[in-house]
């Protein structure tokens, strides 16, 4: 699946810390494919929460560690991720 890394909307660029991912946790099935592929090891399942599908959804554990490489978005079978490019000034 082709995945585009998008420019972040202004409100996301201004957020501190910058949020490189928008994660649609309601669609996550907890399969862990994204966790295994992330080269920075900044994804984990949120075991404190169960979504409407009955799964622990993924969460970003370290926004500063994410490089917006989009490997997670490319491997996810459920189109959970929107990836934003990190602004140069951040
Ligand atoms: S964009 Fe890359 S670094 Fe960030 S969470 Fe996804 S796979 Fe990891
Ligand atoms: S690959 Fe997609 S469905 Fe699987 S755990 Fe990651 S975000 Fe959830």
Question: What are the domain boundaries of the chain?
Answer: 5-85
Q: Report d(CA 35, CA 15) in Å as an integer.
A: 24
pLDDT tens by residue, 3-60: 888 888 888 887 777 899 999 999 999 999 999 999 999 999 999 999 999 999 999 9
Element (H, E) at 6: strand 5-7
Residue from 71, 80, 83, 85 to probe ligand 1 pocket by mutation (most atoms less than 8 Å from CB): 71
Q: What is the pLDDT of residue 90?
A: 47
Check whether domain 5-85 has CATH 3.30.70.20, yes or no: yes
Pairing, β 5-7 against β 81-85: parallel
Cβ of 70 below 6 Å from ligand 1: yes
Residue located nearest, by CA, to atom 4 of ligand 2: 31
User: Phi and psi for 13 in degrees, rounded to 5?
Assistant: -60, -35
Q: Burial of 59 by CB count in 10 Å (0-12 exposed, 13-18 middle, 19+ buried)?
A: middle
Q: Is the pTM of this model over 0.85?
A: yes
Q: Enter the tokens of residue 61.
A: 């554990």
Cβ of 32 below 6 Å from ligand 2: yes
């Amino acid at each position: 699946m082709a995945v585009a890394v998008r420019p972040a909307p202004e409100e996301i660029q201004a957020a501190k810390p910058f949020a490189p991912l928008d994660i649609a946790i309601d669609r996550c099935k907890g399969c862990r494919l994204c966790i295994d592929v992330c080269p920075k090891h900044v994804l984990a399942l949120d075991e404190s929460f169960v979504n409407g599908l009955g799964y622990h959804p993924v969460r970003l554990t370290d926004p500063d560690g994410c490089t917006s490489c989009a490997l997670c978005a490319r491997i996810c079978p459920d189109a959970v991720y929107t990836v934003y490019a990190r602004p140069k000034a951040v």
